[in-house]
Amino acid sequence: MTDAILLSIIIPVYNVESYLPRCAESVFSQMTNECEVIFVDDGSTDDSGRICDNYASSMANVSVVHKKNGGLSSARNVGMKSASGQYLLFVDSDDYLLRNAIDDLLSIIVSYAPDIIKFDYTRILGDEGTDVSSPLKDGLYSSESELKELLHRSLRDEHSMILSAWSHVYNSRFIESNNLLFVSEREIGSEDYLFNLQAYLYASSIYHINRCLYAYVARDGSLTEIYRPKLYEKYTDLYKRIMSSFQSKDAYGLFSNDILHFYIWLVYAPVLQQELAIGRKENIRRVRRILRSHDFHDALEQYDSSTLSLKQKFLYSVMKHRLWIILYVIYLVKR
C-alpha cells in the first residue's frame, strides 16, 4: 500500500455500456492525485470492458481488471485486493457521485482517519431526485456507547440507517485486519447487510457526513424490482452468519433481540410480501411453509416484542400463530 493514494474508488462493471460514461465522468471530474480508480469488468458481454480499457490507457491512476463473471461481491473483492489506497469507496457503475463528494471524503479522512465514513444519498427515478438521509447527526462516533447505539439502530431499522456499501468509505487496513470480504447476494440475499453489520461490529470509529454524496439510480429490472426466488433461505443464511459474527465477538447477548428483530421483519418484508404480491397457489403454499419453518418460528418464539408498536405487535402475533390467511387479507387491503 502506498501512502500517496488516500482513496481507491472501486467500480464493478457488468454490461452497463449506456451508464458507465456518466458514472466515470462523475468520478474523473473531481479526482485528485490522491485518488485512484479501479474498474473491475465482471465478464461483460457488451462494450463495457472496452470503455474501461480506454479510460485506463488514457488516464493516470486509472486501471482495469478483467475477470470471469462472478457477481457484484466477487467484483468488489477483486477490487479490494487490487487497491493501493488507504481508504476504499465503492461506486456501482450505473450510479454516480455528486459534486464535491471526493473533496468531502478526503477532508474527513485527513482530519479524523476513522475506520468507516457514512454518508447520505439521492435516489434518482427518471428525472426526479429524492434525498435519502439517515437519522444520524453529522460527526464522529467513537465512544463505546455511541457505537453500540449505532449497531442497535442498524439492526432495528436497516433501511433508514442506509446499509448499502456504496454509502460508506472503509479504511483499508481496518478491512484487512478484520478479514472482511463480501459474500454474494446469491447466497445471503444482501451482501451489503452482512458486510456493514460486521464492519460496524468491529469498528472503533465511524464518521457520518450528513450530506448526499452519491446518486443511486433506480432502474426497472434491477435486483430490487424483480421477484427473487429462495429469498427466505438466503435471508435465513444471512441471519445465521450475523449471529455467528456477533457470537465471535462475545456481543450476541447484548444484541440478540435486535438480531431477531432484523431477521423477523426482513422475512416479513420483502420475503412474505413478494410471495403475497404474486398470490398464486404455489406462492401461498410457500408463505405457509415459511411460517411453519423451524428457523423462523424459533426466532418468533425467542423474540421480545414488548417494545413494538400496536400495529407491529398485531403482525408479529399473526406470524407467530401462523395465520397466513390474515397476512393475505392485510396485503390485499393495503394494496
pLDDT in tens, 235-262: 999 999 999 999 999 999 999 999 999 9
The tens digit of pLDDT for each residue in 258-275 reads: 999 999 999 999 999 999
Residue 158's nearest CA partner among 249, 245, 264 is: 264
* Total residue length of the chain: 335
Residue 216's nearest CA partner among 281, 121, 145, 103 is: 121
* pLDDT surpasses 60 at 227: yes
CA dihedral 85, 194, 66, 26 (to 10 degrees): -60
Tell me, what DSSP letter sits at residue 58?
H
Residue 239's nearest CA partner among 229, 231, 249 is: 231
Q: Cis omega (within 30 of 0) on the bond before 270?
A: yes
In 3-state terms, the chain is what percent helix, strand and coil (to 5)?
55, 20, 30
- Residues 162 and 53: their CA atoms lie apart, in Å, by 32
Average pLDDT in the chain: 96
* pLDDT surpasses 80 at 325: yes
The tens digit of pLDDT for each residue in 311-323 reads: 999 999 999 999 9
The tens digit of pLDDT for each residue in 1-46 reads: 445 899 999 999 999 999 999 999 999 999 999 999 999 999 999 9
How much is the pLDDT for 242? 98
Element (H, E) at 217: strand 206-217
The tens digit of pLDDT for each residue in 94-147 reads: 999 999 999 999 999 999 999 999 999 999 999 999 999 999 999 999 999 999
Under the banding of pLDDT at 50, 70 and 90, the label for residue 220 is low
Predicted model pTM: 0.95
How much is the pLDDT for 226? 77
> In sequence order, what are the residues at sequence separation of 6 or more whose Cβ sits closer than 8 angstroms to the Cβ of residue 15?
44, 45, 46, 48
Strand partners, 141: 206
Average pLDDT over residues 65-77: 98
Yes or no: say if 190 and 126 are a contact pair by the CB < 8 Å rule: no
Query: Directed axis angle between helix 144-156 and helix 191-202, to 10°?
Result: 160
Tell me, what DSSP letter sits at residue 184?
P
Under the banding of pLDDT at 50, 70 and 90, the label for residue 289 is very high
Tell me, what DSSP letter sits at residue 15?
S
* pLDDT surpasses 70 at 305: yes
Which segments of the chain does DSSP mark as H helices, in order? 20-28, 48-58, 72-82, 101-112, 144-156, 158-161, 172-177, 185-188, 191-202, 231-248, 252-266, 273-278, 281-292, 294-302, 310-320, 324-334
Average pLDDT over residues 279-285: 95
Yes or no: say if 25 and 9 are a contact pair by the CB < 8 Å rule: no
- Residues 104 and 106: their CA atoms lie apart, in Å, by 6
Grid cell locating 285: 403454499
* pLDDT surpasses 60 at 221: no
- Residues 314 and 308: their CA atoms lie apart, in Å, by 9
